[in-house]
């Protein structure tokens, strides 16, 4: 259940404890508010691992850009820890105006992927991603299973441009040229990803 901690001493102790135990990697800070994200379950981590394959193929191997299995994205050069998000996967293509600060990126990726966990706020990040110039966000929801694609069209919050449901229509990311669809599987729906140039096909 959600817990709101207003005691400053206890809050600092909680954050320090998470940092010392090394479990703070997915935590974020939203305009000064420390957000403890739900722990990633095994399926969540497995999806990240396998989704990296088509993205690395279509960006890194194709010499288009670089794929990150999570990174810090902020809107500022200094004091970035006061406002940052950590997408599950981020792709920065060549020509992206974002600045690599070493510890974080100042500016959004061309494509961010968020895998939804119970109780998280993946969709609440869309306004931030829009503000920092992210081109597209792909949300992988697992309850129920669907893929949601959002694209930055200049509006305050990026717009939904497609939803892929199980055995339904596919969606296509423009930033990284891939087609995504969901098909029925034995244990869970499978994410099928296809690249036209260079050609490639993956079942995740």
What domains, with CATH codes, occur in the chain?
39-203 (3.90.1570.10)
Please state the rounded mean pLDDT for residues 173-195.
Answer: 98
Span 149-175, average pLDDT: 98
CA quadruple 115, 119, 120, 125: dihedral sign: positive
| pLDDT of res. 1 | 45
Backbone angles phi, psi at 31, to 5 degrees: 50, 50
Q: For the chain, give the percent of residues with pLDDT over 70.
A: 87
Kindly state the average pLDDT of the residues 50-75.
Answer: 98
| Percent of the chain that is helix, strand, coil (3-state, to 5) | 25, 35, 45
């Amino acid at each position: 259940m959600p817990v709101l901690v207003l005691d400053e001493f206890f809050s600092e102790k909680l954050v320090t404890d998470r940092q010392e135990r090394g479990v703070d990697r997915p935590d974020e800070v939203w305009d000064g508010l420390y957000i403890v994200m739900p722990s990633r379950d095994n399926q969540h981590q497995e999806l990240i691992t396998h989704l990296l394959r088509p993205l690395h193929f279509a960006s890194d191997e194709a010499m288009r850009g670089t794929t990150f299995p999570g990174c810090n994205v902020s809107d500022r050069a200094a004091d970035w820890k006061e406002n940052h998000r950590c997408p599950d996967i981020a792709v920065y293509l060549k020509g992206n105006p974002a600045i690599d600060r070493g510890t974080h990126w100042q500016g959004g990726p061309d494509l961010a992927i968020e895998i939804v966990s119970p109780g998280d706020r993946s969709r609440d990040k869309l306004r931030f991603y829009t503000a920092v110039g992210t081109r597209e966000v792909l949300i992988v929801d697992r309850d129920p299973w669907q893929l949601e694609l959002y694209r930055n069209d200049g509006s305050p919050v990026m717009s939904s441009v497609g939803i892929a449901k199980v055995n339904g229509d596919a969606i296509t990311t423009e930033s990284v040229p891939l087609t995504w669809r969901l098909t029925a599987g034995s244990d869970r729906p499978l994410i099928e990803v296809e690249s036209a140039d260079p050609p490639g096909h993956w079942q995740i």
